[in-house]
Structure 1
C-alpha cells in the first residue's frame, strides 16, 4: 500500500488487490487525519489502525463511545 496526504485533511490510498491497483481518495470536511510517524520512509499500520485512520478516528487514542458490555 502507498499513502499520501496533503494538508492533513486528504488521503490517497493505493492498494494492490492481487489483480490490479485500487486507488482510494478521501477528504475530511473537518479535522485532519492522524498520521503515523514514519521510520525509514515507511509508515506501518495494522488493518484496524488503517480502518480507523481512513474514518478520521485518532487510532493512537481510540475511545469507546460506550463501554463494552460483558457477556457471561
Structure 2
C-alpha cells in the first residue's frame, strides 16, 4: 500500500485520514456577483456541516467537458 500524503491549501490540510474538505463551485460563473453569491452559499453550507471548503469555478467555458 502506498504511503498516505497530505496536501495543504492555506489553513486546510487534505488527506485520506483527515476530516472531509468539500471542493465545490459552479462549472461556469456569469459575473463577479454570481461568483460571490455562489461562494457565500457554499461557505454557509460548509460551515453548517462543519467541513472545510475550497471554492472552485471557471469564468471561461474552455474547461467544460462535452459528450461525444
Smaller-chain TM-score range?
under 0.3
TM-score by length of 2: 0.21
TM-score by length of 1: 0.20
Structure (1 or 2) with the greater strand fraction: 1
Q: Which has the higher contact order (CA 8 A, sep 6+)?
A: 2
